[in-house]
Amino acid sequence: MESDSAVKSTFWYDKFEKESCRNWDIFYHKNQQNFFNDRNYLDKEFPELLRPATTPPEVFCEFGCGVGNALFPLLEKTSLSLVGFDFSKRAIECIEKDPKYLANQSRMSVSVADLVLDPIPTYPVSPHLGSLIFVLCAIAPEHHVPVMTKIYEHLQP
């Protein structure tokens, strides 16, 4: 028979898992774009992001993009076409209201989707490059391999 503490921890595990999307929505409702720092280091860590522009431009996807702390610096520093999605509707609404997004809709597009439950949104051109910044740590470990497989299959070779 399962011990009391095992039953309790299964209860909390299932509860956090079930309410994860709602909890992130609450988080972004409270914090909007004021919590995470912009990831201004991405082009330094990954110089391939600064490859010369191509026609059509290469597509970069941030899987679990939150309020755009990775996407917005890439908008300024690179010539990539940027797409992203997050399961928090509030996070995506924050991006959609941002003047930088509104001024660059030909280069940037975001949507709401759950990496675990939904198919990855399709774009006119499949992403060549992608990142998951501080996202896997927000997803239960048993979903990591299926999520990474889904992403691998979605990216261009």
Ligand X SMILES: C[S@@+](CC[C@H](N)C(=O)[O-])C[C@H]1O[C@@H](n2cnc3c(N)ncnc32)[C@H](O)[C@@H]1O
* Binding region for ligand X (CB under 6 A): 20, 24, 36, 39, 62, 64-66, 69-70, 86-88, 91, 114-116, 133-135, 138-139
Between 19 and 157, name the residue whose CB sits nearer to ligand X: 19
3-class DSSP string for the chain? CCCHHHHHHHHHHHHHHHCHHHHHHHHHHHHCCCCCCCCCCHHHHCHHHHCCCCCCCCEEEEECCCCCCCHHHHHHHCCCEEEEEECCHHHHHHHHHCHHHHCCCCCEEEEECCCCCCCCCCCCCCCCEEECCCCHHHCCHHHHHHHHHHHHHHCCC
Q: Shortest distance, CB of residue 155 to ligand X, whole angstroms?
A: 16
Between 4 and 153, name the residue whose CB sits nearer to ligand X: 153
Between 20 and 126, name the residue whose CB sits nearer to ligand X: 20
Q: Shortest distance, CB of residue 86 to ligand X, whole angstroms?
A: 5
Q: Which residue is nearest to ligand X (CB)?
A: 66
Q: Shortest distance, CB of residue 32 to ligand X, whole angstroms?
A: 12
